[in-house]
Amino acid sequence: MVRVVLWGSLNKLAADRAYYEVEAKNIIELLRSLGNEYPKLKPTFDRGVAVAIEGTLYQDNWFQPIPPDSEVYVLPRLAGG
């Protein structure tokens, strides 16, 4: 299990909890599991999100492994410019 924090507006689209426990081996499994449990998250996930695993930020690296017992943050996609 990984402990997931949905940052900012993402948390309001789910259950508005401090964190979520999710069974996932990689980022795509994590997002699918959360999207299935909380369908309002799916459109935002489809547009793109950033995922931080133990403090390292990943974007578009869907198969990045998530070690067991990791702390994970899911954030709205970071725009650059």
78 confidence band (pLDDT: 50, 70, 90): low
Residue 81 or 4, more confident: 4
β-bridge pairing 56-59 and 71-76: unpaired
Residues 60, 27: contact at Cβ < 8 Å? no
> Which amino acid, one-letter code, is at 42?
K
Domains and CATH numbers, the chain: 2-76 (3.10.20.30)
pLDDT tens digits for range 10-69: 999 999 999 999 999 999 999 999 999 999 999 999 999 999 999 999 998 999 999 998
77 confidence band (pLDDT: 50, 70, 90): confident
pLDDT at 6 over 90: yes
